[in-house]
Every structure is written in structure tokens, then in C-alpha cells.
Amino acid sequence: MSVPISEIITRFNNDLETTRQKGHPEPTAMTLSTVNAQGFPSSRVVLLKAFDEKGFVFYTNLTSRKAQEIQANPQVCLNFMWHNISKQIRIEGHATQVSDEEADAYFATRPKQSQIGAWASKQSSEIENKMDFEKRIAKYGLKFATSKVPRPDFWSGFRITPSKIEFWQKRDFRLHERQVFTPENSQEWNEVRLYP
Ligand SMILES: Cc1cc2nc3c(=O)[nH]c(=O)nc-3n(C[C@H](O)[C@H](O)[C@H](O)COP(=O)(O)O)c2cc1C
């Protein structure tokens, strides 16, 4: 069966709104899995900050482990688990860095303390001395005390262009529903159902 990508994104959006309305504390939290150059996988939670037919966007430090792994291998997987509506959504795809303009626009919406935190954190690197992080926060707090905080060039976002989207819905007696969508062309996607 063929489905327009716009319908799949609308369905994702509807599920996201339902889990939010039913009180999910962190509905945009998603597990991001990457694989390093040696083929070892690693997973961590990041927040979804934008999505549309072009893909799913999160932001991070470009020197972090995840960003390094994406640079070595841009094939990644996202997973949303929305317990309060018994849904899991799995998205496989290709990560590309967002434009500087897009990252600047998002960075500008963050609270100033988070912007300073982005400057201060050498994400995923070892903290050599206990107070080093606090010192860096104080340093950048002072540096930007009376000015706007520009986006650090080591901080940006990635857009995951999906190549497979699976909706999993819990049903009684483990007779769960799984619908998997893969692209036929840029607008139309093919839908298949899998045994649970
Ligand atoms: C709820 C939640 C949301 C998070 N959101 C982000 C995020 O949007 N970006 C980010 O870089 N790290 C985020 N983190 C921290 C990551 O899980 C991770 O610890 C960090 O990015 C370092 O990962 P890495 O060493 O694999 O690169 C979040 C953690 C949690 C628990």
C-alpha cells in the first residue's frame, strides 16, 4: 500500500501530541543509536527539536562521541518509547549537519544559561579536575555577561533523513501491531505489516 510521507509525519505528530496531552514527562526524548568506525553501537537520549517531511532534528556538541561517530558513519537509528500510549516509534536514517543559519536560529531560542553551558561543556571529554567545569561556566558567564551569546562553532544540529519508520502499537495478548514504512519515491512510501 502506498502512503504519502506527509500522512506519516502527521501520524507521528498526532501520536506525539497524544502522549504529551496524556502527561508524558519528556515526549520529545528519543534514543539515538550510532555506530563507530569499528562497528560498535552506542545509544543515548537526545531531544527532538524539529521534524517535518525532510527529517528529525536534534542539537549537540560536535566534538561529542555521538557527533564523532556520525561523522565516521552517518547511518543512525532513533527510538521513541511512549509508555502512556503504549507506542514505540523506530526511525532509521541518514544524519546530516543542519545549516549554520538553522543552528543559529535554534541556538538563539535557548535560555542564556543553556547557551553559556554549550560554551562551557567539552561534551564527552574527561573532566580532569573536579572544579574545571564550574570554572568554565564562570568564565563564559563573565565573557557574555552583557552581550548576546553567539552559537559556538562546535555546537550544531543533525537532521535524520528517514529511510524506514516503524510504528509499534501494543495490543492485548502480545498481538501487537507493527507498520513499517519505506520510501518508494520522494513523496510516496510503501507500507507493510510485520508479525509482532
Ligand atoms: C532526557 C535527556 C535529554 C537529553 N538531550 C540531549 C540533547 O538534546 N543533546 C545532547 O547532546 N545531549 C542530550 N542529553 C545527554 C545525552 O544523553 C548524552 O549523555 C550526551 O549527549 C553525551 O553523549 P555522547 O557521549 O554519546 O556523545 C540528554 C539526556 C537526557 C537524559
140 CA distance to ligand 1 middle (Å): 21
C-alpha cell at 146: 552583557
Determine the residue of 33, 35, 46, 77 to mutate for testing ligand 1's pocket, defined as the one with the most ligand atoms within 8 A of the Cβ atom.
46
Backbone angles phi, psi at 85, to 5 degrees: -125, 15
46 CA distance to ligand 1 middle (Å): 5
CA separation (Å) from 75 to 28, 35, 72, 192? Answer: 21, 8, 9, 22
158 CA distance to ligand 1 middle (Å): 13
What pLDDT digit, counting tens, does each position of 40-54 carry? 999 999 999 999 999
User: Residue 83: which of 166, 170, 181 has the closest Cα?
Assistant: 170
117/119 Cα distance (integer angstroms) = 5
Q: Which fold has domain 2-110+152-194?
A: Pnp Oxidase; Chain A (2.30.110)
* Residue 76: predicted pLDDT: 98
Q: Which atom of ligand 1 is nearest to the CA of 68?
A: 27
pLDDT higher than 90, residue 1: no
Residue 60, ligand 1, Cβ within 6 A: yes
* Residue 31: predicted pLDDT: 98
Catalytic, 90? Answer no
pLDDT higher than 90, residue 135: yes
Q: Mapping DSSP to helix (H, G, I), strand (E, B) and coil, where does residue 175 land?
A: coil
Higher-confidence residue of 1 and 53: namely: 53
114/151 Cα distance (integer angstroms) = 11
What pLDDT digit, counting tens, does each position of 137-196 carry? 999 999 999 999 999 999 999 999 999 999 999 999 999 999 999 999 888 999 999 999
Residue located via cell numbers 517531511: 53
Q: End-to-end alpha-carbon separation of the chain, Å?
A: 19
121 CA distance to ligand 1 middle (Å): 12
Residues written for the chain: 196
How much is the average pLDDT of 109-137? 96
How much is the average pLDDT of 48-74? 97
Which residue is catalytic, options 20, 90, 136, 174? Answer: 174
* Residue 32: predicted pLDDT: 99
* Residue 130: predicted pLDDT: 87
User: Residue 6: which of 167, 160, 192, 186 has the closest Cα?
Assistant: 186
84: buried, middle or exposed (CB in 10 Å: 19+, 13-18, 0-12)? middle
pLDDT higher than 90, residue 112: yes
Q: Is the dihedral of CA 100, 106, 78, 164 positive or negative?
A: negative
Q: Where along the chain do its domains lie?
A: 2-110+152-194
Q: Kindly report the protein residue whose alpha carbon is nearest to atom 14 of ligand 1.
A: 46
Residue located via cell numbers 517535518: 52
